[in-house]
Structure 1
Amino acid sequence: MPTPNSLDLELKNALATLKEGIANAAPKSQLEELQKQVDFLDIKLAEKHSADISGPSFSEKLKENEDVARLLRDRKGVARINLSGKDFADFERKTTITSAAVGQAVSGVLQIDRIPGITQEARQVLKVRDLLSAAPTSMQVVDFVKVNTPMNIASPVVEASTKPENAVTFTSVSEKVRTIATWIPATKQILDDFVELNSFIGSTLPYYVNLEEELQLLSGDNTGENLHGLITQASSFNTGLLSPTKGWNKIDIVGRAIQQITASKELDPTFIILHPNDWFEMRLTKDSFGRYILGDPQTNARPSLFGLDVVYTTSITNGTFLVGSGSPIASQIRDRMEMQVEISTEHQDYFVKNLVAVRAEKRLVLVVKRPASYVTGTFSSSPA
């Protein structure tokens, strides 16, 4: 059996003979054939000299290496590995495995931690409806009768004399039920495939209907299909109640508005509606000693002024206030139809296109029976 050294000698001799043949060969076909044989022998010699005749494989070296074992256990440090022979061949044409290589998103192999549901946009808390009384109605128009000309006050009379006659006149007032609605189109496929979207739409559309309701309850101007709001019907603040000589601030204006209502023999007010900017300017007012006038900020007291609940909301304009009563004698919401959310394909060509229309709507009317029980004004008011 030939030894490794004799094989080396034979390969070298064969290579030398081929190179000599190439040098002496004339035809092109012979040159190409000889060159192929030389290239083959060169590859064989290179593979022989780079291969290990004996010894452990590269994977076995990794398992036996103490530095590698410590690195895997501690997840830090440095591991040194001695490589030789065919160990280098194992590192050829290798690619570092990264998150980008295996894929992080749709078609990748790495999983993602998806929190269920849809994060809603910032939404204000709706507060105005809760201040008022509400009752259902089954009619399209709500009518009420109120005193037009009140009676005169009674007077003392002499015994056996004619008593003074009194008189009163009435008038009727009507308010029409209004509809507040919105809708959005969507495909049946997206509602089936994106489960969270269905519940998101089902909760979002009613919110924006209720938001418009709150704006209408406050500022509806009774034109077109707008409600007849509280601010529109409220009495204007009497700036003559302010004292130019004594000075005044926002708290003084609210106090004088309460005074105006009670002095006109109207129902005692129960709430004050302010913009958050105006409320916190009042809340942070300090005296000359640096003490908060409206109480310790650490107390968990309900916002109030002069014993009335303070409701701060961005539904009222900055710099504007409303003082009034939540009694049903002063005003009342009459609901013709509670909130309804409906889904339908009966819109244009929605059926053939697999589209659906999602609609939210409600019907109501605001009846303000005692407009003088409400006073509105601005904090930029000044005495006449």
Structure 2
Amino acid sequence: MNPKERLAALIKDARGIAEKAKTENRDLTTDEQTDLDGKMAEITTLKEQIAAGEKSAATLAALDAMAADAPGDIPGGGGDQVGAKSLGEHFVKHAHESLVAKKGLSNVTVGAPDFTGRKAAADNHVVGGWTEGVPYLTDFDRTIVQAPRVRLTIDDLLAQGPISGNAISYLVESALEGGFATVAEGGAKPQMHFLNPTQKTDALKKIAGFITLTDEFLEDADFLKTEIDTRLLYELAYMQEQQLLNGNGTGQNLLGVLNRSGLQTEASAGPDDNFDAVFRGMTKVETNGQLPVDGLVIHPNDYQRFRLTKDGNQQYYGGGPFAGQYANDGLVLQPPLWAQKTVVTPAIAEGTVAVGSWKLAATAYRKGGVRVEAATQHASNFTNNLVTIRAEVRRALAVRKPLGFCKVALDWTA
């Protein structure tokens, strides 16, 4: 029973008690009066809750109308029809004006539609640091020196797909029996199937976090956009990288590619065999998985060792500091390993190289896009003039063919 239905039932019961006493031409009994007082108190509470809910719905509707009318907010809509180029710009377009207008109000939440330097976790972003009593009249420099950023490309290796439910079910493919063949006119066609396919279901997992800013920061839309784009979104993306590759599948963790059952493995016999071990892993994907290799993931320290390897003439296999391989083809700053798209990231453990047919063997799903919301009701935000900005995304990973990946163990010991 929803609040409005409950309210109607209470009013009907209360009227019944009063009308019974009136019909019998008597005063309310003590029990009737107590019962009626309790119902009237609950009626008052329900009316307040319903009014608050309607006010909240009206506020959200007004925000939606503002977003729909604003030029360029929605690709394909009115105005200049130019969509936001980043998540921060998207949030500013849809929510910044309303957020500033509601500054100082308690229990306010402002959100935007899904979008298809570091501080300690408990610290707030504040404008401060001046001596008490000394006028603070200079401009505040909002240019932030960026912390080092890790290249984020594991997500790009995987095929991408939307999801409408809360989980994705699929068949994990094993060996193929049969295959296509040439057929004579009117002849029987060959049958093929995957041996013992296993049904698997991977549920959506939410990845989320927040930062807290003071009101002073909110007045600058450009800075708010930068905070979302360069900090909040970066940290969210890096966590996704870790989950898609290394998630252990327990609790709210994704089950990452490297922890899937049926993954192929290959081991190096020593430093001189590392290059060959990676190629053998690629061959396993091509032969056992029957899928083309389209990329590999390697730790920066391992890539450095490969990159700085020299031949007997002290020539770099990957090209020297001033020229390409053997002074040919110019300088390639990060040449690929074995001509495959090479993702260099600390998201993978040192000493391990993951090779695979990423786009054919697996799909990374997301429900909606990255959602960003801002609110003042978190903890003591209202009394401290703080606003919390939260970002979250829901992801799922389907690995349909574990044989499409090979985990290569390197050996750098002499």
TM-score range, shorter chain: 0.5 to 0.7
How far 1:332 moved relative to its partner? Answer: 0.7
Secondary structure of the residue that 1:206 maps to in structure 2? helix
The question of 1:235 aligning with 2:235 is answered no
- C-alpha change, 1:270 and 1:109, in structure 2 (3 Å) is same
- C-alpha change, 1:184 and 1:148, in structure 2 (3 Å) is same
C-alpha distance in structure 2 between counterparts of 1:266 and 1:255, whole Å: 15
How far 1:195 moved relative to its partner? Answer: 6.4
Q: Please tell me the root mean square deviation across aligned C-alpha atoms, in Å.
A: 3.6
| Matching residue of 2:162 | 136
| Matching residue of 1:378 | 409
The question of 1:180 aligning with 2:207 is answered yes
Structure 1 residues 134-283: aligned runs within 5 Å = 134-147=160-173, 150-151=176-177, 169-187=196-214, 189-192=215-218, 198-203=224-229, 204-233=231-260, 235-239=263-267, 248-283=272-307
Q: Percent identity?
A: 27
- C-alpha change, 1:243 and 1:201, in structure 2 (3 Å) is closer
Instruction: Deviation per CA, 1:246-299: give whole Å up to 9, x if none.
Output: x83321221121122223143121111111111121111111111122345423
Is the CA contact 1:231–1:376 (under 8 Å) kept in the aligned structure 2? yes
Secondary structure of the residue that 1:223 maps to in structure 2? coil
| Matching residue of 2:112 | none
| Matching residue of 2:396 | 365
Structure 1 residues 1-384: aligned runs within 5 Å = 116-147=142-173, 150-151=176-177, 169-187=196-214, 189-192=215-218, 198-203=224-229, 204-233=231-260, 235-239=263-267, 248-297=272-321, 298=323, 299-301=330-332, 303-327=335-359, 329-348=360-379, 350-351=381-382, 353-380=384-411
In structure 1, the gaps of 5 or more residues are 1-103, 156-161
How far 1:166 moved relative to its partner? Answer: 8.3
C-alpha distance in structure 1 between counterparts of 2:370 and 2:209, whole Å: 11
C-alpha distance in structure 2 between counterparts of 1:212 and 1:346, whole Å: 26
Give me the TM-score of the superposition, normalised by structure 1: 0.60
The number of residue pairs the alignment matches comes to: 268
- C-alpha change, 1:151 and 1:346, in structure 2 (3 Å) is same
C-alpha distance in structure 2 between counterparts of 1:288 and 1:118, whole Å: 47
C-alpha distance in structure 2 between counterparts of 1:235 and 1:201, whole Å: 39
In structure 2, the gaps of 5 or more residues are 1-129, 182-187, 324-329
C-alpha distance in structure 2 between counterparts of 1:207 and 1:334, whole Å: 19
Of the structure 1 ranges 209-218 and 255-264, higher mean CA displacement relative to structure 2 is found in 255-264
- C-alpha change, 1:338 and 1:165, in structure 2 (3 Å) is closer
C-alpha distance in structure 2 between counterparts of 1:350 and 1:291, whole Å: 60
Secondary structure of the residue that 2:245 maps to in structure 1? helix
C-alpha distance in structure 1 between counterparts of 2:402 and 2:284, whole Å: 13
Secondary structure of the residue that 1:205 maps to in structure 2? helix
Is the CA contact 1:206–1:341 (under 8 Å) kept in the aligned structure 2? no
- C-alpha change, 1:149 and 1:251, in structure 2 (3 Å) is closer
C-alpha distance in structure 2 between counterparts of 1:163 and 1:217, whole Å: 40
- C-alpha change, 1:300 and 1:338, in structure 2 (3 Å) is farther
Secondary structure of the residue that 2:224 maps to in structure 1? helix
C-alpha distance in structure 2 between counterparts of 1:243 and 1:211, whole Å: 33
Secondary structure of the residue that 2:233 maps to in structure 1? helix
Which residue identity lines up with residue 131 of structure 1 in the other structure?
Answer: L
C-alpha distance in structure 2 between counterparts of 1:152 and 1:280, whole Å: 44
Q: Which has the larger radius of gyration?
A: 1
C-alpha distance in structure 1 between counterparts of 2:263 and 2:173, whole Å: 18
C-alpha distance in structure 1 between counterparts of 2:209 and 2:235, whole Å: 8
- C-alpha change, 1:288 and 1:362, in structure 2 (3 Å) is same
